[in-house]
Every structure is written in C-alpha cells, then in structure tokens.
A and B are shown apart, each in its own frame.
Chain A
Amino acid sequence: MESEKLTPWNLRCLLIIMIICGSLVNGAFTVMQDTWISVLLMAVIYLPAILVYSRICTLFPEEDLFSIMETLFGRLGSVFIILPMACYALIATALQLRNFTEFTVVIALKNTPPIAIMIVLMLTVLYIAKQGFSVLGRWSSIICTVISINIVITILFSLNIMDPAHILPVMNHTPGAILSNSFALGSIAVGETVMMMIILSNRKKDRSAYRIYLPGVILGVGLFALIILRNIFILGADLENSAKFSTYMAVRIIEVGKFFERIESSISFVYILLGITKMALFLSGAAMGIARLLRADDYKKLLIPTGLLVLAIGALVFNNAFEMFDLVWVYQYAAIPFQLLIPVVIWIGAEIKAPKRHPAG
C-alpha cells in the first residue's frame, strides 16, 4: 500500500478521465442527434452500480478490491472471483491498448506497424503503473485539467461554425433505443469505473467514497455530453454518426482565421494521454489480481509480465478494425458479470460480514 494518500480531487479526476475515454470510439453511437441524451442517461442507468461500488469502499475503507474479496470469501473462495476479475482487467487493458493504437494508425501513423505503437504505449503505461497510485493520482489531475481546457478552447473556437439546430428533432428515437444505447455506452464509460475500487483504499481516511464516486461520475458524464454536443453542433448528426473518430474530425474543422488551424493534434495527444492513464489503472488492477492469486507481496513486480500479456492479447484480439467496432455490442453484455454481478456479490458479502468486523457500524 502507498504511503502517500490520494486526495479526493485526484481520484475524481481519474474517474473523469476514465469516463471521457469512452468518447473516443464512435462505434457505440447509434441514436444520431440524441446521443447526448444517451450519454446523460448513462449516469442514471449506472447509478445503482456506482452506489454499490461506493458502499463496498465505505465498508472496507482501507482495503483494495482484491483484498476485500479475500477477506469476505476466504483464500479458496475468493479465487473464483479474483481470477475472473483479474482476467477482465487484463483483457480490458488489451482492448483499450488496441483501441488507442487503432486511433493512432487511422489518424496519423498509417504506415507504422501497430505493434510498434503498442510497444511504445505500453512502455509509458508500465512506467506510470510502476510509479504507483500516488503518481497516477497526481498525473490524473494534470491530465484532467489539460482535457478540460482543451474542451473549453475547442468549444470557444468553434462557436462560429456550430449549428445548434443539428440536435433537432430532440428525442426522435424511441426511449428504448436511447436507453439501450445508453447502456452500451455506459458499459464502456461508466461501468469500467469498477476498477476504481483498487485505488480507493488509498484515499485519505476521512473521505467518503460516495463523495468521490458521485461527483466524479457526474462531472465525467457532463464533460462527455459536452464533447458529444460539440461534435454534433459542428459536424451534424449524419457525419457525427458516420465518422470513426468524430471528436477528432470535429476539431479538424475548427479554423480560427488563417493562422490558427490544425488544432486536431491537440486532440490526438490528449486522447493518448487519457488512454495511457486509464490503461495504467487497469494494468495495475490486473497485476494486483494476479499478485493476490500467486501470493506475491508486491504487485509491481508483476507489472512487466502482465504488460507483456496485454501486449500479446492486444496484438491478437482483432483481425481488423471492423471487429473492434463490433465488439461494443458484445462488450456491453460480456462486462455485466464484472461491472455488476461480482460487485453485487461482494456488496452482499460485505453487508453481512462488515458489521462483525466493525461492531460500531
């Protein structure tokens, strides 16, 4: 465990980053001009899950996710949930790695072999993960500030090319379609915050987990919706829907006079930074899970082998870009056990066992 405790702001920033990461890939946007409503509804749909995560962290304020599992279900019993959860973290890191590689290849480095980009990304992720959670937390608050400034600047600079009529007609899709899109989007953006449970034990003691999770998720979803609205206002719903990376395309269109154009490079580097941060957390999660299974004392020693595994999975997981975009539709269901079922099981176990550990409540 880290000696240095993370401030609530650091943790909220990390949450915001994890959520905004979901706005990169357009594959999950299906309700055209109503996408921003889907994004806002994510917070509502995933609220029960967020409350469960917060409750677990409140009941066990000093233990990380895997240690809670072991406390609740014993050495042997916990293997059955630690193993799938570690695998989930591992695969999710690999999927993110592939996503960000695909992004880089499509927008800039068309002739560079994806594996070279993956290795460079992975090295950076490994470095951040190796530095520990206190560095990750502080790094998150820097990145979060950078992305917020970036969003504000791109919105201000695009005011002259925005057309608010692009979001009309509002609610032209059935509530069912909007909700189902919301669920799919949420599984990537909000559901993945389940991994925050590995780092929340490093918060300052007197800070409530609810006060970290709820504002973090609300701010993250709000910024996400702002990004989507900006993209729709600039591009129009049809092009927003057709583009693979609509955020990047929207920013490409911004020109401030003849001097200040091509600010899309700011978007590409910001997204890479967001991805690196999220991957560092997930990789740490995977390594912590594996360390717990193998009874290793320091998960950091397992970061490199885990990173190599991620690299291998990332390189092999998709045959082409189409498969990557299609995965969204499988992922929303595949992620349910990890984002919902396992946390609920832990929560129930925690509610039963926690009072015994802390008689005062």
Chain B
Amino acid sequence: MKHLIACALVLLCCASLSGCWDYRGLDEIDIVTGIAVDKDTSGVYRLTIEIVDTHGSAKEGDLGAKYVEAEGETLFNAIRNSKKRLINKLYGGNMQTLVISRQIAETEGVSVILEEMLRDGEPRETMSVVISQEETAKAILLAEGIDSKIISYEIHDMVEEDNRVTAATVNMPLYKAYNAIKGTGNSLTLPAVHCVQNDDETVVEGNGIALFEGDKLIGFLPSKNSIYYLFFKNEVKGGVISFPVSRSDDSVSLEIKDCKTNVDVSVQDGQAFVALSIDIKLNVMEIKSQLSISQASQRKALEQQTAEFLQTSIAGFFKEVQNQNKIDIFGFGRQLYQKTPDLWVAIEDDWNELFQNADIQIKVDAKIQSAGVLKDY
C-alpha cells in the first residue's frame, strides 16, 4: 500500500514539476525581446513587437529577430491582438527594451504604459524604457544592430553600460522609472535614442536624456550635457572629459576612472541652495599640448584646470536648466522631502519657482591617477 501511495505521489510530482497547465514547449512560444509603442491619429495603439527568430541555427549569435505588428484600443488589447497573426503565444520574460514614441510621451504620458508592463508580471522590472526621437518608436526597433541582430538587446546593453563608458544618457530601468513618477518630489528622466547612419546601415544611438514633468515629456537634454546631469545624480562611473588647456587648439582628454558626488539641497528664508561636491579620479589619455604630466607641478595645474572646467560647465548647465527647462529635473525635491518632510509640504507648490532661483555652489576635487601605459607624452 505504501509503495502504491509513493508511486502515486511521484507521478503527481511529475505532473506539477513540469509546470502543470502552464507547461509550454520552446516551440510553442515566441520570445519577445522588445516592444515599440506608437499611437496613430485615431487614438489606436500600434505596437511593433520584436521576437527572437529561432528558426535559424541554434548557435548563439546566429539568432535573428522578426517583427510582428499589432493594433488595439488599449495596450493590452494590442498585445493580445498580435496573436491573430501568430501561431505561438508571446512570452515576455526575456523582454529587455520598451521604446515609447515621443508623441505618446508628450500627449498622454508614460505612466499607463509602465504600469501595464509592471502589472503583467512576465516582463522583467529591470528592462530599459527608452524614448524614441524619431517619427515613430517602430523606426528604432527596425534599425540594424551592430553587435547583435536583436536590436532590443543592443539598446538595453548600451543604456545599461552608458554611465561607465560615455555618460551620454541615463540608465533608468522600468522599476526605477515607476518610482520616479510616483515618488514625492522626484522627477522622471529616460534615455533618448535616435537613428544614425553607420556604414550604410541605419543604427540606433543613445542621444541624451528625455525630461519629464510628472509622466509627460517636456524636452530633451543633448548628449553633451548628459554627463553634467549624471554628476548631480551620482551616476557617473566613467566617461571622457575634454577641454582646451592653454590655447583653444591645445586640448586634453581625461578618462573618468571613478567619481563620487554629493548633493545637498536646502531652503532658508525662501531661498533654495544647492551644494554639489565632486570627487573625481582621472587618467590622462590624450594630450595635444606642451604639457609635461610627469612633473608634479604641471599635473597639479592640470588637476586645477580640470576642476575649474567642470565647475564652470556644470554651473552653466545648471543655469541653462533653470532658465530653459524651468523645472527641477534633478529630483532635488525628493531629497528635501526625505530630509525635511514638513518643510517640503510647505514649499511643494512653489518648488519649481524656488528651483529657478536656487543658488548653486560647486566644489570639485580632481585627482589625476595615471597616464595609461606611457610615462609621459
């Protein structure tokens, strides 16, 4: 009798371990890697869904992508409507990139789309959400990938590693984007991407940062300014700083090896103050001047110049945001709310005005660490 029960239990386990009713063979699913969301003038969502083409060789790297388009009154409806054109069911567990058209971001905002992605449960919370600067979001997804045939993976990796290499955009995964919209005093920024020509092919390039008020797009930061924005967020982990050292045609390029920033926001007597201190470590990578960095005095001078250059550039950038964007894109309000919640309640409604007149103090401590494999230049 005991053996019989044991056998029955083993069989039952087999049934449940294979995923019960949810068992789906690889040949029965279409693995979604990315979705581009557009909306036409009649208010219908038009989705372009990138799925892995598993019909080629099984070797990694040979995997290609195919696309299915779908329409619907709502996002979910559109996703389900795609099934009308497919045999297999879509599987979103490997989705890496969500491209949203700038029109949707400007007119209706992104929070409904982000919430639907989180609610679904299948897509991962760490996927990248990017804003297309092209006519449509679809154009981004249909571009060619240079390293990968699956463009969604390429965009995701590019965005994720950007702050360690070029600091040209911001890395804002889905769950952080949701928090940025919902969090008191916070503000959302998303990576912006556009298409460029490369070796006769259209490829995707990170191009600055999309700025939001609430969940609606209000503008873009050009990619040259992105690094200054990232300094305020303490997210610069790499990148390049280039500036003229003596004459305008004598320049130096420094690679950021490590960077720590600290921002302190305060409000006193109706005046906001921002204190930014940057502790940055750099390597000299390119010198187009008579500078001799093997000499301590010249190194010191270069460090001094770097600090001054950063101070001037960041101050200029901050002024530009105050005058042109006119809203707190840095989420300073969040810090005020976290430090002094009572004060925040009192000034919340006037915060953007206070921000526009905020005083900034920037302290930079630049340290040159090395000059690559050469001793001097």
Contact = CB atoms under 8 A, between A and B. Distances in A.
Interface string B175-197: 11011001100000000000000
Given A107-B121, A108-B22, A252-B125, A165 B338 contact: yes
Contacts of A108: 19, 22
Given A252-B125, A253-B175, A172 B183 contact: no
A238 B334 CA distance: 13
A236 B183 contact: yes
Given A172-B341, A255-B126, A109 B179 contact: no
A334 interface: no
A165 B337 CA distance: 11
B358 to A, nearest CB: 20
A266 to B, nearest CB: 16
Contact of A168 (B125, B126, B339): B339
Contacts of A236: 175-176, 179, 183
A113 B22 CA distance: 10
Interface residues of B, number: 24
Given A123-B9, A165-B338, A253-B126, A238 B179 contact: yes
A168 B338 contact: yes
Most buried by B among A113, A165, A238, A255: A238
Contacts of B179: 235-236, 238-239
A169 B344 CA distance: 11
A169 B20 contact: no
B22 A109 contact: yes
Nearest to B20: A112
Interface in B140-154: none
A174 interface: no
A146 interface: no
Interface residues of A, number: 26
A193 B175 CA distance: 35
A154 B182 CA distance: 26
Contact of A111 (B22, B118, B341): B22
Contacts of A168: 338-339
A330 interface: no
A111 B339 CA distance: 46
Contacts of A111: 20-22
Contacts of A255: 126
Nearest to B335: A165
Nearest to B178: A239
Given A106-B121, A109-B19, A111-B22, A235 B337 contact: no
A120 B16 contact: yes
Contact of B124 (A107, A109, A110, A252): A252
Given A236-B183, A249-B125, A252-B125, A123 B12 contact: yes
A172 B12 CA distance: 50
Contacts of A249: 125, 175
A116 interface: yes
Interface in B326-342: 337-341
28 contacts: A106-B121, A108-B19, A109-B19, A109-B20, A109-B22, A110-B121, A111-B20, A111-B21, A112-B19, A112-B22, A116-B20, A120-B12, A120-B16, A165-B338, A168-B338, A168-B339, A169-B339, A169-B340, A235-B179, A236-B175, A236-B183, A238-B178, A239-B179, A242-B118, A242-B182, A249-B125, A253-B173, A253-B175
Given A109-B20, A123-B9, 7 more contacts: A108-B22, A169-B338, A169-B340, A237-B183, A239-B118, A242-B118, A249-B125
